[in-house]
Amino acid sequence: MTFIFNPHFHHSMGGPEEGKETRRMVRRAREESRENQGELDQLRSQVDRLYLITEAMWFVMKEKLGTDDQRLGELVQDIDQRMDSFGGTGRPPESCPQCARALSIRTGLCMYCGIAPDPS
């Protein structure tokens, strides 16, 4: 292995103050990353909890009202469309390539299997 000495390398990196500032920036970035990870963990926990609550409510509705998954899907789609009015596009939502149910207008994801359509 051959090393090439560059006499200008040290000067191009800046002085000791720039090094201190870089270290401060790196520390701050790490702190922000930890904070963001904490927020992400909280959001995941909330989503998991909401998922369990929703599943429990759906189980009770099916049991007490005798409804089925197809009706739930229709209601979810109707509510999604009313909330977004087709997201301002004037056309109905696309279908999921995996399960053929309507994709969420707001997120573009399938609310049933979580698939995001191929952007092509």
Between 117 and 57, the more confident residue is: 57
Higher-pLDDT residue of 120, 67 = 67
Alpha-carbon dihedral sign for residues 68, 96, 106, 47? positive
Cα–Cα distance measured from residue 119 to residue 103, given in angstroms and rounded to the nearest whole number: 13
Radius of gyration of the chain (CA): 26
CB contact at 8 A, 100 and 112: no
Helix ranges (H only) for the chain are 9-12, 16-65, 69-84
pLDDT in tens, 5-44: 555 555 455 566 778 888 899 999 999 999 999 999 999 9
Could you read off the pLDDT of 45-94 as tens digits, one per residue? 999 999 999 999 999 988 998 888 888 888 888 877 776 655 555 566 77
Tell me what pLDDT residue 6 has.
58
Q: Domain segments of the chain: what residues?
A: 15-67, 68-120
